[in-house]
Structure 1
Amino acid sequence: MITTVLRQALRARGREPAVLCHTGADTRADLAGLPTAPGDVLLDLDAQPLGRPILDGTAEEPVAGLVAVVAATTTDLHRVLTSAVHLPRAVHVVVALVATPGHQEPPLPVGPGMGQWRDLQELRLRRVDSRGWICELFFPNAIESASVLDAVFQGTRGRRRGPAVAPLVALNGHEAALWRPGDTGANGVPDEGPVPLRRVTPVADLALRVHDSERPSAWTDEAVPALDRTTTGTDSWDELIGPTGYARAADRPVDPVQRIAPVDESTVNPTGFGKAENGPLGHLTLHGDRAVIREGKKNLVTVAPDGTITDVDLSRLRRLRGIRVDWSGPTGPHAAVRAVAGLAAGGVPLVSGPVPAWAAGLGTELTRLLTAATEADLSDRLSREEHSVRLRRAALYTHGLRSRWRALAAEAGVPVPPAPRVSVILCTRRPDMVGFALAQIARQRGVEPETVLTLHGFPASLPEVRSAIDAYRATGLPLVVHEAPADRVFGAVLNDSVARASGDLIAKWDDDDWYGPEHLADLVLARTYSGAELVGTGQDFVFLQEIDLMVWRSRESETSTRFIAGGTILTDRVVLEETGGFRPLPRAIDTQLLIAVTRGGGRVHRTHGLGYVLRRTGGGHTWSEDMAYFLHNYARQWSGWRPSSLLEGEPAPLGSEADTGQPVGAAQHTGGHP
């Protein structure tokens, strides 16, 4: 169908030239044999250098009758948006996605907000086979092609773009798009500079040059700093030196991690993770001259020469229980590290023998985790998922696009905006649970939360409450204490708490549940890669306190959903404003918020539930399911306290006699949800 659509578009394009582009594996064949004319351009966007125009001519803004891009996957389309800034304006734009993973939305574009699409004449969106899409747009007057491609990509993620990548950059080199996928605001620059000006202001705060030589040209721009990196094919085996396995670049040492092009977490992430502990084991190895992932004698994925793992690659691997990494096979250090980092970021459980020194670019934590699990661990559903979560954390923190650019900015001395601040909303009617709940918040890692503690119907002057508050403030974490009257309805109390918070993100916290130390960090990470308006976890682990029983429900995770645990909600302050906040009701507050988000066109994403334990007692819960519901609806159960290892035990309640740093037994706690 793709070839048929392109043939028809070429016949209807008029006298203007056509620009036919491809990106990703095996997409050039879709452009073969088309009825092109003199002046038409056939272009591999993956090899397009930044800063080089695509159509030559005298016109300041060349116009094409047709711009078509055939992308193997959504990951490939997102990468070449950076190169697409050089595509000419066009009246007819065709975007073909050969394959997409099942969890993605259709690429239904939403026009930009400055009226550029008011004259749009026609929009066609059609499936290609069962997994691909073709999107055609017709305009009466030529429009920027890159903005159209960007709108098509964003359609696969819903309405939110996610956090921006800072700082603004200028790029040089044909592999530069690997370092900044999806950035239609990037500018190409000559190898030696300078960065162009927009009036009197440089268009970028930092330049990155990606080249084939360890000794690039001298940089001439004194106002904008430049960093140098080499292409993925430059690091041949015989050039590796030193204990880390990396040579020196530009006469100065560079952290091996920062030499690796980042993973695009917008498309390469754990979304779609499956519980396939009974599936076969794959192998990342060498077959012929290409790195492949094999199941027996069958190639499931052929890894791109630059090591890129795509969203479609991950979907093909979800039925595997894991992959063993064969370090003797990959084509080069940079590509091998990128492939392994991409698989880990996608949540694929990996095992490995000793990691060679030349793979130091993986980073210390990811290297450790690769050898920490065995194939037997991957055959146990809980151990497999725990290993996957640890791998994805390490890979996304170390190699994620936003993490990498914050590190590059620090290397160049370019300041970037601070990370979004999380405000935790803790509302309780029980003085005896304040110390327990604050202890759970105080041990959070990866974020520095602000806590808004709302005492619903009792004062902060109670001895057990005052001692817990004092102990929490001694940690140095910010705390706002609010006393709400007992007769104020619960939903209104939550809105009062939000009004007193100063953070960009709002996290809801229950006073009697257990939270792992990376609970908040995992939610912030899921918000980044999912693009969802609201994120949370499932109620996977439930402790039935009356009968001293732990139940593991093992629900689907890393997916869009209509239901998450209310005590794990994290959303943007602006989303609460858009949905009207919490409804002024005494119960079902969380469910009503989820309904409001989805009704408004937003998405709810459920990440893993291994770092959270829901407590169930005899009564007093806002969720009305009784104990029998959990006893007939589980994957595994244990007598006594048995959470996931990701919970990392439990801290002693703050301000109590047990506040000694030693764990307190789960059965000692009493009480239910407010």
Structure 2
Amino acid sequence: MSREDARSGPDHQSPGAGPSGWRLLGAPPPEREERISRTVGLRVLRLPGSRRVLIVAGSVDRLRELAADPFAVTPFRVVTVVVAWWRRPRQGWSGAIGPLPRVLSHQVSFPRLRRGSATVTVRLAQALPLRDILRAVLPAVGSASPLPAPVSADLTSHGRPPAYLPATGAVALRELPLSSDIRAHDVVLEHGGPAPRDGYGDDGPPYGIGFRTGPHGLTAPAAVLIDARRINPRGRRADASRPDAPRVRLDFGPAGRGLGGRLNGTGPDATTLATLRQVGVVECPQVPATAPVETAALLVQLAATGAVLHAPKLPAPVADLIVPELRDIITGPAPAGDELAMEARSVRQRRAALRGHATDFALPRIAAGRFPELGRPPTVSALLATRRPEMLAGALDAIIGQTYPELEIVLCLHGIELPAEIRARLAGCGRPVEVLEVPDTISFGEALGAATRRANGTLVTKFDDDDSYGTEHVWDLVLARQYSGATLVGKGSEFVHLETLGITVRRPSGVPEADGELVAGGTMLLARGDLEAVGGWRPVPRSVDFGLLERLRQAGAVIFRTHPLGYVYHRRDSGHTWDPGQNYFLEAAHTRWTGIPEDAFANPPQPAGEPLALH
């Protein structure tokens, strides 16, 4: 039977309560891959009287959609998943199922070529909820690594899973399981009725803190949340920011057929997400004041895809549920005629939506009153290894100026001493700093290894001393690591500043918001544990970035390239180990500017009259 047949009934709005649905009008026709995926759709076929199910999905997006559906709490013992249109994250990659209790056997088969059908079959000794099985199946068909953290809470939904619940969250349909040895639940989401009591019960410590919740967020305190692993800018087309990119209109009204859904559903489905990847602007002239949580959640979800959302009139009940940063962006007009300005607007918007409303970031902030450490994002160590003292001031300013709050600076002086003025600058920068000196007789790879040894962050990222970075660069990488689930994330070197000519060019450099083979070495971010698990940096004098990427590929890692804004690669007359000459970049360029365009950094808007700081 179809997924609609299998789905449990939603909470219906009362008559006269306002629009029950939404639609996107004027949508462009689907592209070839989506036409195939849409034809297959999502089919759930159950064998009557058994705990067996066959799931045929047109894409991995549709699998994620099923995991968010209330039907996914149904237990099964034998599950076969067929992804009809599947593509390997990169050539030669193969995945495996994740941890799953009571497995008797499993089988994974991939197409002979890079594209085709992928099939995963799992047989269990005892039936488990389908969402738990899908959580184990997803790593076999794509990247699914959770964002590493030094401390995190066990999250349990008591009742039907809300649309924003990550796949790692547990679901308890009946009484909350207890444990006499350790608190069974840290954060509990309670559907309907009073919020669960904080602290300890008479029979032991059942949970730490509880919240009342609905499908799209908390009701006490009021907050809109989204599952960023399911709804994000992944796959957004590079040409969606062009002036001639499709524009659509968001209308609210009765729930019906077409590109849209119910306000109290799980949000944009796989078909809508595929459409939004090629849409430039979503115009929303009227926003209803009724069902404010569901309406605000839809706007946040659309914003998180990267399609530029313009909603100039937000009723107060809806506006109050959207974080101020995102609210200010979506109520402002969309840029007209400037492709780079449109792309920068898209990046600022998706960034605000993800860090302001993604469950992995927003819910820990809300629970920080009970668990203060949860409100802090993962710690990041910025590695800067240099043997050029003249580059130190600018490179360190780029790191110090980052908006990411949990950032440590690890400065490795490769055969040089620390100037007194730089020492004073570091002492007053307000960030944790590690400074080490290594002799110039060791290789650059060994110098980076020494810096990594001194790093205290859960994640590490590499900065190059001669490139420019936007102030939100580290945030971009952490967000991409969260929603992509990749082992390593980075940006492409699309923006190249030719210093002798005083111009910046933009050239093709891989597909953004997609799995790939390469990223710019000065943008790589990964967990320190993953870096060390593959052997760390190679002790080579040059091409250390390529050496690490090759080790990761051989270990089966997934590499993800996010958008290119916020990073500008610099070329000079000399000092590059790889030097094809300036004509190489000029001939490949499709756009050029005098100097460095401000929107290439996609920084937050500057206050009027304040000069732009470029590092």
TM-score (norm 2): 0.81
Q: Secondary structure at the match of 1:269?
A: coil
Shift of 1:22: 4.9
Cα deviation for residue 273 of structure 1 reads 1.2
8 Å CA contact 2:93, 2:556 repeated in 1: no
* Structure of greater relative contact order (alpha carbons < 8 Å, 6+ residues apart): 2
Is residue 2:145 matched to residue 1:156? Answer: no
Alignment of 1:83-122 (within 5 A): 84=72, 87-88=75-76, 90=77, 92-95=78-81, 110-113=96-99, 116-117=102-103, 119-120=104-105
Is this contact kept in 2: 1:284–1:324, CA < 8 A? Answer: yes
Deviations 1:551-581 (A, max 9, x none): 1226431111222211111111122212222
Equivalence for 1:594: 549
What secondary structure sits across from 1:286 in the alignment? strand
**Mapped pair 1:231 → 2:214:** yes
Deviation string 1:234-253 (CA, Å, 9 cap, x unpaired) is: x9xxxxxxxxxxxx96xxxx
Q: Decide which structure has the larger Cα Rg and report it.
A: 1
**Counterpart mapping for 1:310-329 below 5 A:** 310-328=269-287
Quick one: structure 1 residues 570 and 650, their matched pair in 2 at CA, closer, same or farther if it must change by over 3 Å?
A: farther
Q: Distance between the aligned counterparts of 1:337 and 1:373, measured in 2?
A: 19
Per-residue CA deviation, residues 119-147 of structure 1 (Å, 9 max, x unaligned), is: 427556799xx9986643346x4454544
Q: Is 2:332 the counterpart of 1:367?
A: no
Residue 341 of structure 1: how far off its partner (Å): 0.7
Give the C-alpha shift of residue 310 in structure 1: 3.5
Q: 2-side partners of 1:515 and 1:521: how far apart? A: 12
- Letter aligned with residue 233 of structure 2: P
Equivalent position of 1:537 in the other structure? 491
Match of 1:410 in 2: 368
Q: How far did 1:323 drift?
A: 0.7
Q: Which residue of 1 aligns with 2:401?
A: 443
1:76 is matched with 65
Residue 448 of structure 1: how far off its partner (Å): 3.0
Alpha carbons of 1:169 and 1:284: their partners in 2 closer, same or farther (altered >3 Å)?
same
1:156, distance to aligned residue in structure 2 (A): 3.4
How far the C-alpha of 1:109 sits from its partner, in A, is 7.0
What is the TM-score when the length of structure 1 is the normalising length?
0.74
User: 1:446 is matched by which residue type in structure 2?
Assistant: Y
Shift of 1:585: 1.8
Is 1:203 the equivalent of 2:203?
no
- Structure 1 counterpart of 2:512, which letter? S
Shift of 1:149: 2.5
Aligned residue runs from structure 1 range 462-473, under 5 A: 465-473=419-427
Q: Match of 2:13?
A: none
> How far apart in 2 are the matches of 1:347 and 1:649?
16
Residues 46-103 of structure 1 show CA distances to partners (whole Å, capped at 9, x for unaligned) of xxxxxxxxxxxxxxxxxx44245577813323324x8756615x2x223456888997
Equivalent AA in structure 2 for residue 434 of structure 1: L
Aligned equivalent of 1:479, options 406, 429, 433: 433
- Relative to 1, partners in 2 of residues 1:136 and 1:404: Cα closer, same or farther, differing over 3 Å? same
Which of 375, 392, 398 is equivalent to 2:350?
A: 392
Alignment of 1:256-655 (within 5 A): 256=222, 258=223, 260=224, 262-274=225-237, 275-276=239-240, 277=242, 278-286=244-252, 289-290=254-255, 299-302=258-261, 305-306=264-265, 308-328=267-287, 332-359=291-318, 360-374=320-334, 377=335, 379-411=337-369, 416=374, 418-460=376-418, 465-553=419-507, 555=509, 556-644=511-599, 646=601, 648=603
When residues 307 and 554 of structure 1 are mapped into structure 2, their CA distance, relative to the original with a 3 A threshold, is: farther
Q: 1:496 to 1:573 in 2, by over 3 A?
A: same
Cα 1:594–1:547 change in 2 (3 A) is same
The SS at the match of 2:283 is strand
1:523 counterpart letter in structure 2: L
Mark the CA change 1:665 to 1:156 in structure 2 (over 3 Å): closer, same or farther: closer
Q: Secondary structure at the match of 2:142?
A: coil
Where 1:75 maps in the other structure, the secondary structure is helix
Contact 1:75 1:310 in 2 (8 A): no
Distance 1:137 1:286, change over 3 A: same
Secondary structure, aligned partner of 1:410: helix
Question: Deviation of residue 182 (structure 1)?
Answer: 1.4
| Paired residues of 1:167 and 1:409 also in contact (CA < 8 A) | no
Residue 271 of structure 1, CA deviation: 1.0
Deviations 1:600-627 (A, max 9, x none): 1111111122111111111111232311
Q: Is the 8 A contact 1:22 1:69 kept in 2?
A: no
**Residue 444 of structure 1 aligns to a residue in which SS?**
coil
Number of aligned residue pairs: give it: 567
For 2:214, give the aligned amino acid.
Answer: T
Q: Supply the AA of the counterpart residue of 2:424.
A: D
CA distance in 2, matches of 1:184, 1:650: 36
Paired residue secondary structure (2:539): coil
The runs of 5 or more residues in structure 1 that have no matched partner are: 7-19, 41-63, 236-247, 293-298, 652-660, 667-674
**CA distance in structure 2 between the partners assigned to 1:645 and 1:470 by the alignment:** 31
Residues 158, 491 of structure 1: CA spacing in aligned structure 2 closer, same or farther, 3 A cutoff? Answer: same
RMSD of the TM alignment (CA)?
4.0
Contact 2:277–2:305 under 8 Å retained in 1: no
Overall identity of the aligned pairs, in %: 28
Q: Is the CA contact 1:93–1:137 (under 8 Å) kept in the aligned structure 2?
A: yes
1:542–1:552: 8 Å Cα contact kept in structure 2?
Answer: yes
Residue 559 of structure 1 contacts residue 606 of structure 1 at CA under 8 Å; is this kept in 2? Answer: yes
For residues 306 and 587 of structure 1, what CA distance do their matches in structure 2 show? 52
Q: Is the 8 A contact 1:109 1:151 kept in 2?
A: no
In structure 2, stretches of 5+ residues that fail to align are 11-37
